[in-house]
Amino acid sequence: MKRILVCMTGLSPQVVTETLYALVTRKDPFYPDEVWLASSVEGRDLAKKALLERESGHLWRLVRDFSLPLAPKNIHLTPLLGRDGKILPDIRTARDNEDAADGILNLVRKLTADPETTVHVSLSGGRKTMSFYAGYALSLFGRLQDRLSHVLVSPEFEFCPDFFYPARIPGEQRVQNRWGEWMDTFDATVTLAEIPFVHLRSSLPPDLLEGTVGFSESVRLAQKAFQSPELIIDLRQKRIRAGEKVIPLPPTQLAFLAWFARRVLSGLPPIACPKGGVGNEEYAREYLRVYQEIVGEMGGADRTRNNLVNGMEQEFFEQTASKLHEKLARVMGKGGSRPYRIEGTGTRHKTYALTLSSGQIRFGRVLSEGEER
């Protein structure tokens, strides 16, 4: 699995080497295959000078000192762009912050899209808002294998511009602290504090995971995903509104969902799936009443009606539910579609129902996106 380190770089490029040092020297070392540095113009220029000069850059010194498997081609200095396409000189205005947020969000989204990667995001470095955006982006898109951290340096070496990481042996490197005192960097302590974060990815719609939605819109969509679910079923237009999503459904699947929705509205209990190759005639009658509302009068060639001539059998019940769930998950994501699924409860004698309450379900017109209300 490819290991990726993501850092925000600003006026203190030291945090990159401090973080990398802490990762590779801890008890369970994390050796990055790639390093991504997000920065403005100011942060980029400092990183180039202090970290990436081929001979004198402190990042390459660290790589040599600890024999790290990190090649120059795998160091990515990623500029944060403004909406005019130019690199942000710095992050000072509200507009700069919005653009930086979009850039950081899209970077984390891209790096977490590959299931064969593990991403470690450092909150150290850059402006405070950059750190916030990085942490929030990982909360949105992070997987179970991803990590978030903050690097901690012993107080006497804080705010020391010449300190980048501890020396391997005593006397190898001395630096002056902010009071002008000389110190041996071998004595420095650099540790990594891992920060737990809430994983929201499984509940987000696919278009948020796969697109290039900006930060503010991502926050809005994430909030919508966690609002109380509501289902509106439009039999005439053959579509539903599940939360914020308008989803067209084939008549067979729409009738199945509407059948269970009406059972909830009528206060009826969950039902068992037909078993043993015996069709359930009552299920078939209830289902076909809804199905006929959708498609109109059925001729003798109607495939769905013909499948239910001997009642509703296990294969029809399970396959229709499965196709419905797949369609919902494609549009809403697995987590986002869960409230609208026909869920089974129990173990030995499993029964099935739509778990929404009657107050969360209604039948009526569903406007397509772009239609005026």
What are the tens digits of pLDDT across the range 233-271?
A: 999 999 999 988 899 999 999 999 999 999 999 999 999
Q: Is the pLDDT of residue 278 over 90?
A: no
68: left (phi over 0), alpha (psi -120 to 50) or beta: beta
Would 371 be classed as within a structural domain?
Answer: no
- Sorted by sequence, the CB contacts under 8 Å of residue 13 that are 6+ apart come out as 43, 46, 47, 50, 51, 58, 125
Kindly state the percentage of the chain with pLDDT values over 90: 57
Is residue 331 within 8 A of residue 337, CB to CB? The reply is yes
pLDDT band at 92 (very low <50, low <70, confident <90, very high): confident
Q: Are residues 99 and 212 in the same domain?
A: yes
**C-alpha torsion angle, residues 227, 337, 203, 218 (rounded to 10):** -70
Q: Are residues 218 and 293 in the same domain?
A: no
Q: Are residues 194 and 258 in the same domain?
A: no
Q: Count other Cβ atoms within 10 Å, centred on residue 10.
A: 22
Q: Give the angle subtended at the CA of 271 by the CAs of 240 and 237, to the nearest 5°.
A: 15
Q: Are residues 30 and 127 in the same domain?
A: yes
Is residue 24 within 8 A of residue 17, CB to CB? The reply is no
pLDDT tens digits for range 330-339:
998 888 899 9
Q: Are residues 341 and 203 in the same domain?
A: no
Q: What is the pLDDT of residue 296?
A: 83
Q: Are residues 209 and 239 in the same domain?
A: no
Alpha-carbon distance of 265 to 248, in angstroms, equals 22
Is residue 156 within 8 A of residue 199, CB to CB? The reply is no
Alpha-carbon distance of 212 to 215, in angstroms, equals 9
Q: What is the pLDDT of residue 273?
A: 93
Q: Are residues 210 and 295 in the same domain?
A: no
Alpha-carbon distance of 240 to 247, in angstroms, equals 5
Among 170, 198, 222, the domain-final residue is 222
Q: Are residues 288 and 150 in the same domain?
A: no
Alpha-carbon distance of 209 to 114, in angstroms, equals 11
Q: What is the pLDDT of residue 317?
A: 96
Q: What is the pLDDT of residue 301?
A: 56
Q: What is the pLDDT of residue 290?
A: 95
Residue 1, both tokens: 């699995």
Would 163 be classed as within a structural domain?
Answer: no
pLDDT tens digits for range 140-169:
999 999 999 999 999 888 888 899 999 988
Q: Are residues 61 and 16 in the same domain?
A: yes
β-bridge mates for residue 190, sequence order: 153
| CATH number for position 198 | 3.40.50.10770
Among 203, 222, 241, the domain-final residue is 222
Would 184 be classed as within a structural domain?
Answer: no
Residue 335, both tokens: 């987590």
pLDDT band at 370 (very low <50, low <70, confident <90, very high): low
Alpha-carbon distance of 37 to 124, in angstroms, equals 12
Residue 68, both tokens: 């790290």
Q: Are residues 258 and 197 in the same domain?
A: no
pLDDT band at 369 (very low <50, low <70, confident <90, very high): low
Q: How far from chain centre, in Å, is Cα 370?
A: 27
Q: What is the pLDDT of residue 371?
A: 62
Would 62 be classed as within a structural domain?
Answer: yes
**C-alpha torsion angle, residues 162, 163, 169, 172 (rounded to 10):** 0
Residues spanned by the domain of 35: 2-154+189-222
Q: Which range (18-32, 74-88, 269-283, 352-366) has the least confidence?
A: 74-88
pLDDT band at 135 (very low <50, low <70, confident <90, very high): very high
Q: How far from chain centre, in Å, is Cα 22?
A: 26
In the DSSP assignment, the letter for residue 211 is S
Q: Is the pLDDT of residue 5 over 90?
A: yes
Would 95 be classed as within a structural domain?
Answer: yes
Would 162 be classed as within a structural domain?
Answer: no
Alpha-carbon distance of 269 to 91, in angstroms, equals 58
Would 347 be classed as within a structural domain?
Answer: yes
pLDDT band at 226 (very low <50, low <70, confident <90, very high): confident
Residue 208, both tokens: 């948020």
Alpha-carbon distance of 243 to 199, in angstroms, equals 21
Beta strands 190-194 and 147-153: pairing type? antiparallel
Q: Are residues 41 and 145 in the same domain?
A: yes
Q: Are residues 240 and 301 in the same domain?
A: yes
Number of domains observed in the structure of the chain: 2
Would 369 be classed as within a structural domain?
Answer: no
The strands making up 342-345's β-sheet, listed across from edge to edge, are: 271-272, 351-354, 342-345
The strands making up 2-9's β-sheet, listed across from edge to edge, are: 75-79, 34-39, 2-9, 117-122, 147-153, 190-194
Among 222, 247, 273, the domain-final residue is 222
pLDDT band at 299 (very low <50, low <70, confident <90, very high): low
